[in-house]
Structure formats: structure tokens, C-alpha cells
Amino acid sequence: MTPVFEALADPTRRRLLDRLRRGGSLRLTELAAGQQITRQAIAKHLDSLAQAGLVTVERRGRERLHRLEPEPLRQVEKWLAPYAAAWDRRLARLKAHVEEEDR
């Protein structure tokens, strides 16, 4: 999971993943539209995401479509689940404590 966390550490890569999540398969030019960095920089970020398994590239004629691969994110979610559950328990205890004091 280290490559996935390294890929997710970069805010530009997270924005690209979010655009792919919302937009489905997108071309580089679509992903670069509205960005403050060059298409070449976007391509490098996409390569990093692909190396981490978060993005796949499909060739359709001359086009290359980039698509989000959710499985690595599911693995991260599964790994984080015990931590989330622990925080949920702590917050529930805090809520009960505050509500008890209000009575």
C-alpha cells in the first residue's frame, strides 16, 4: 500500500482522482483543462497514479483514456477501518459524556 499512500499524498493527484471519479474515463486534455500546471506535468502525475494501480489507461485509436481503479482505495479503506471504528467509539463516549452533563 505504500505506493498508493505516496500517490495520495500529492494534492494534484488527489484532484485528478476526484475528476476521474466524477467524470469516468477522461483524456489527458480533459484532465488538464483548468489546471494551473502543464499537460506534461499532468501526464507525469497520471503515470505516478498508474504505477500505484490507481489509474488505468485504455487506448481507443489515437486517444488514451484514463480511468480510476477503485480497488487500491478499497484496500486503504479496509486498512483504515479499525482506526475509524476506534474514533467512532471515542466520539460516541464523548457525546454521551456531554449529553450526561447537560442533564
Q: What are phi and psi of 46, to 5 degrees?
A: -65, -35
User: What does the alpha-carbon distance between residue 67 and residue 22 come to, in Å, rounded to a whole number?
Assistant: 11
pLDDT number for residue 17:
96
CA separation, residue 38 to residues 1, 9, 32 (Å): 28, 20, 7
Helix (H) or strand (E) holding 77: helix 71-102
- Going residue by residue through the chain (103 aa), what tens digit of pLDDT does each one get? 899 999 999 999 999 999 999 988 999 999 999 888 999 999 999 999 999 999 999 998 889 999 999 999 999 999 999 999 999 999 999 999 999 888 8
pTM of this structure: 0.81
pLDDT number for residue 101:
86
- Tell me the three cell numbers of residue 83: 482506526
